[in-house]
Amino acid sequence: MTSLMSRWAGHAKHDEETFVAKPACALGWGSGLLALVVVAAVLIPAGPLDIDSRWAELMQDIQAPWLRQVALIFNALGRGWSLVTIGAIGLVLVVARRWVALVAFACTEAATPLLVAVIKALVDRPRPVDELIHPHGSSFPSGHAAYAAATTTALVLLFTKPDRHRRAWVPPSVLLTAGMSWSRTYLQVHWLSDVVAGATLGLAVALIGFATIQIITVRRTINRGIPVR
């Protein structure tokens, strides 16, 4: 916690932000992941893949009241509570006066649902028929999974330094995204391929957004004749 607080305070004094050690590499990875999602959107069939059907059957076989409650908690976190989470993170960045970080975070959180909505409209894949709740829209990709991946990735990039200590925060990020993805398939509102594509999309947008903002900031700093640390 002390290291996180010192990071907030340190960035309050500078416009410069270092989200990733190699922004060009992060941008490349993000672009590649986004391209994979686009290819999947073109090739994905309207019906479930074989692995989708097998996974859906497994989720039906393990139905239990307590697991459904866990899945519903994730469902709530991805709906109304997502706005609370995003607002809270934004407020922390405003208080710390981390304006560049705020822009990167805002771009990520705005671009993710926009891309999800566009792909959903273009693909128009039907949802599973045995859904336990009644969501709106088509199935591919999962907006909840995309939101989870984008937000947890953003948290890691915002509040940890790009060094070996960051690795400790990657597993919690992955677990939260996996939990959200699992919940969507457990509630039978998405196929497995939907949540994989959604999580990939969210990760891609976060990497592209933060890397792009960092590159732009560094170039502006150089153009102003200020040495880059």
Domains, in order of start, for the chain:
2-223 (1.20.144)
Tell me which residue of 160, 178, 208 sits closest to 29, measured CA to CA: 208
What confidence tens digit (pLDDT) does each residue in 138-193 have?
Answer: 999 999 999 999 999 999 999 999 988 899 999 999 999 999 999 999 999 999 99
CB 24 within 8 A of CB 208: no
Q: Helices 192-223 & 99-123, crossing angle to 10 degrees?
A: 140
- pLDDT score at 85: 84
Q: How far apart are CA 131 and CA 142, in angstroms?
A: 14
At CA 40, angle to CA 206 and CA 153, rounded to 5?
15
Question: pTM to 2 decimals?
Answer: 0.87
Residue type, 208: I
Q: Is the dihedral of CA 19, 106, 12, 224 positive or negative?
A: positive
Tell me which residue of 182, 208, 170 sits closest to 78, measured CA to CA: 182
Q: Which residues of the chain have pLDDT under 70?
A: 1-15, 80-81, 221-229
